Structure formats: structure tokens, C-alpha cells
Amino acid sequence: MEKIVSLCKRRGFIFQSSEIYGGLNGCWDYGPLGTELKRNLKDFWWRRTVRERDDVVGMDGSILMNRQVWVASGHENTFTDPMVDCRNCKSRLRADQLTEKNGRKQCPVCGSFDLTEPRAFNLMFKTYVGATEDESAVTYLRPETAQAIFVQFRNILEVSRKKLPFGIAQIGKAFRNEINPRNFTFRSREFEQMELEYFCRPENGLELLEYWLQERLRFYRDIGLPSESLHVHKIPPEECAHYSKGTYDIEFAFPFGIQELEGVAYRTDYDLTQHQLASGKPLDYFDEESKQHFIPHVVEPSAGVDRTMLALICAGYDEEVVTDEKGKSETRTVLRFHPRMAPIKCGVFPLLKNNESLVRRAREIVDQLRREMMVFYDETGAIGRRYRRQDEAGTPFGVTVDFDTIGENGPALRDTVTVRHRDSMEQERIAIKELPAFLSERIR
Ligand code: GAP
């Protein structure tokens, strides 16, 4: 993890939030490469979940909502983690994450056994809406995006004219005042979720739970997470939420252990029923065939953007020893991202920066490609160094404009370039006019 954290900072994937003031625990900023990676991940989720399907529509809800949403959903009373205080060093700790020594829970900071009894700590960030800071103005930063979907169910049903089964998808920020943020971005206080609420008839719930589990595993494989690093954990019935008729965790083998990436839960009709009861507004569905009204059930695949990004970086990270033509060996650090996730798709390099024809041709290629993908122009340093810099950024393709390109060695290779593949380091010659199609096909 240390190497990954250091690469993330050095190359501008992830920085500590407010770093120059000493940071803010549990909050992170994404730099230029991290932002592109995040965008690619969210765009691909949206494409798979919404655009490529007839039965899912999108929404984008507000982060602040009426407090009653959180009362009805149960978050105000029960969205808690058990917390203990260490009487010796005053650390606040999550009781369920403590290790035991000789049957006694121990403080991981100072080693003391002098801990308070666990008490429930609500994870929601409280705030006030408007100028008066009294109880009537209290609300919370949303701890999940899902509730906005439930409370807009009726509006979206009406405007989309969908029939069951259908889903509503959303990507957005969520906030949890985690007692112990840890493992880099894995457990943060501010993060993003990609959530789908897939509404269905009660009799189809269990079958759709299995369907969505498989769909979500396919998604993770398609963004480049190796199958062997993905694990499915079926939550035993006694550990499921009381309203759930089945929950799976999709887990990933991080360097710090196998941990949850996403929950796929069959939540029955719990959420819509709660909001119907609390708001007094009907949230049922009218089935035209049977002429019956009922509250739909829901299957929820709920994924974390930041955790998936961390998984992509961990899965992609590699170091290998390479030996050049002169017999000199060095370690090459490479992020083997799937091309569809890679922040930069293609590096473009003129062989020499002080040759006007090479530079002009390379610039023309950049202008041609950048309408369709993220490209990076680099003219400084030896070509080998430029390749290495892009290897570390995870760029799958490098295009080099050389003297053959500009026809200095005869007409045979004029208007062709070298395409270098990041993973194999193999090179091939391609006509410039074929370059956009060649690359587009591989990054889709
Ligand atoms: N609506 C259901 C829900 O929110 P969850 O299991 O609490 O379920 C879903 O959260 C996903 O959100 C998790 O699988 C994880 O990827 C992400 N997530 C939750 N808490 C997080 C945190 N503190 N930091 C980063 N990601 C988090």
C-alpha cells in the first residue's frame, strides 16, 4: 500500500484534502489523473446501467433533504456504529474493529485495556438549513444516495412511464462521519456512490437479486479487475438487515485484505413502505393486468466510486525488471489499467523536440485525437523516459512521430507512426489516418 499511496501522490491521482493545513482526516482530493480515472469509471457505470438498457432511468438528487427522510428511513435512529473511548490515550475507536488479547479488547493506539463500554455513535453529519441553528432547522448530509430515489419514486414512475421491473440509477456524493477512516480512500468520510434501485414484483425479487449479482460481477471484470481478485460473500440471514431477504457483498482482494466493494441487497418493500407511512403520500404501483395496487419490492446494487478506483489502482500496479538493448536493467513501474479506464488513452511524442516537422506532425495528431479521447503530448527527455512516465500513469498506447513519418527515409513509411503498447512494450507501425479507429476500438 505504501508504494501505491506514494505513486498516487507523485503522479497526481490522489492527494490529502487541505494538505497545506495538515489535511482533514477521511477526506481526499483527486488530482488530474485521478479525476480522469474517476470520470471513466462513473461514465462506464452509467453507460452499462442506464444508457445500454431500456429498463433503467437516471436521476440526480440533492445532498440535503428534508430531515423526515432520515427519520422515516431509520437513519436518524439506527445508522450507528458502536464506539468506545480509550481512557488512557483518549482515542475514539470502533468497538467492532478492535483486536483482542487474552480475551480482552485492546486499544490499537496505546495498547491499553482500559476502554469504555460501547455506545451507539450516529454516522450522519448534522447541519442546519437557514439562519437559525435550532432543532427545527436540523438536517443531515446524506449518508447514501438511495433515499433520494425512494422519495422521488412516484414522480419518476409518472414521467418515465416505465412498467415493472424497472430501475432508477444515481451517482453522487455521500457523507459518513466514520469513527475510524482508514486504508487510504477505502473508508472515507466523504465519498461517492453509484446506486441502482431496481423495482420489481415481490415474486421476482430473489431471482433479480441473483441476476444483479452476476451483472455487477461482469461490470467489475469489464473494467479490468481480475476474476480471481473478486469474491462474493453471501451475508448469513441472521446478519442481514431485518427487512432484507438476501444480501451479497462483492469483495476485492486489496493489499490490506479482502474487503467490500459493493453490496447487492434485496430490500423488499421496506423503503417505499416506510416513506409512504411517514409522508402519507401513496408510493404504490398500479398493475394494469391484475388491476391491483401494491408497493414494489426493490433490489439494490450499491457500489462505491472511491473504493472501486482504489481497487483499479491496486489491481493495475505492477513493477517489472526490464533490460534495454545495452544490457542495462531497471525497474519499470506500470499501472496496467484496462484501456477503457485509463486516465490518458494515448501519449503522443515527436522523436525530437527541436525538429519543427516532427513537432508539427505530432501536434496535428494530438488535435485529431483529442476530440475523441484524453491524449497527452510530451516532447521532453529521451523517448524511453517518456514511455516510462506514461507507463506509471497507466497510458495504454504511445504514438511516436519519427523521421519515417515525415518521409525523410523515403516514401514507404511516410504518414505512419509507431504505436507502442504499454503492457507488452511491443511496437507496430500504423498509418496516421487509421489511428483514431485503431485507438477508439480498443478504449470503448
Ligand atoms: N444504500 C445502501 C448503502 O449505502 P453501504 O454498504 O452502506 O450500502 C454501499 O454502502 C457502498 O458505498 C459500499 O459497498 C462502499 O463501496 C461505499 N462506501 C460505504 N461507506 C464508505 C466509506 N466510508 N468510504 C468509502 N466508500 C464507502
HSE-CB for 351 with a 13 A CA cutoff: 12
Q: Is residue 289 predicted with pLDDT exceeding 90? A: no
pLDDT digits (tens, 9 = 90+) for 155-198: 999 999 999 999 999 999 999 999 989 899 999 999 999 999 99
Find out whether the beta carbon of 262 lies less than 6 Å from any atom of ligand 1. Answer: yes
Between the CA of 265 and the centroid of ligand 1 the distance, in Å, is 12
Find out whether the beta carbon of 38 lies less than 6 Å from any atom of ligand 1. Answer: no
pLDDT average, residue stretch 39-43: 98
Q: What is the pLDDT of residue 370?
A: 95
Q: Is residue 360 predicted with pLDDT exceeding 90? A: yes
DSSP state of 118: P
Looking at every residue in the chain, the average pLDDT score rounds to 96
Pairing of strands 397-401, 346-350: parallel
Find out whether the beta carbon of 307 lies less than 6 Å from any atom of ligand 1. Answer: yes
d(CA 120, CA 123): 9
Residue ID of nearest Cα to ligand 1 atom 17: 304
Q: What band does 343 get if pLDDT is binned at 50, 70 and 90?
A: very high
Look up cell 480471481; give the residue. 228
Instruction: Give the nearest ligand 1 atom to 178 CA.
Output: 23
Residue ID of nearest Cα to ligand 1 atom 14: 262
Q: Which helix (H) or strand (E) holds 360?
A: helix 356-369
Between the CA of 303 and the centroid of ligand 1 the distance, in Å, is 7
Instruction: Give the nearest ligand 1 atom to 145 CA.
Output: 1
Q: In sequence order, which residues have a C-beta less than 8 Å from that of residue 49 and are 6 or more positions away?
A: 56, 167, 169, 194, 196
Backbone phi and psi for residue 86, each to the nearest 5 degrees, phi listed first:
-90, 120
Between the CA of 263 and the centroid of ligand 1 the distance, in Å, is 8
Q: Is 52 helix (H, G, I), strand (E, B) or coil?
A: coil
Q: Is residue 326 predicted with pLDDT exceeding 90? A: no
Find out whether the beta carbon of 404 lies less than 6 Å from any atom of ligand 1. Answer: no
pLDDT digits (tens, 9 = 90+) for 58-108: 999 999 999 999 999 999 999 999 999 999 999 999 998 898 988 899 999
d(CA 407, CA 314): 43
Instruction: Give the nearest ligand 1 atom to 176 CA.
Output: 23
Question: What are the residues facing 15 on neighbouring strands?
Answer: 29
Between the CA of 119 and the centroid of ligand 1 the distance, in Å, is 22
Between the CA of 397 and the centroid of ligand 1 the distance, in Å, is 34
Q: In sequence order, which residues have a C-beta less than 8 Å from that of residue 429 and are 6 or more positions away?
A: 404, 413, 416, 417, 418, 419
Question: What are the residues facing 259 on neighbouring strands?
Answer: 252
Residue ID of nearest Cα to ligand 1 atom 12: 304
pLDDT digits (tens, 9 = 90+) for 159-168: 999 999 999 9
pTM: 0.96
Contacts by 367-374, CB closer than 8 A, 24 or more apart:
368/432, 368/435, 368/436, 369/435, 369/436, 369/439, 372/436, 372/439, 372/440, 373/345, 373/346, 373/439, 373/440, 373/443, 374/36, 374/343, 374/344, 374/345
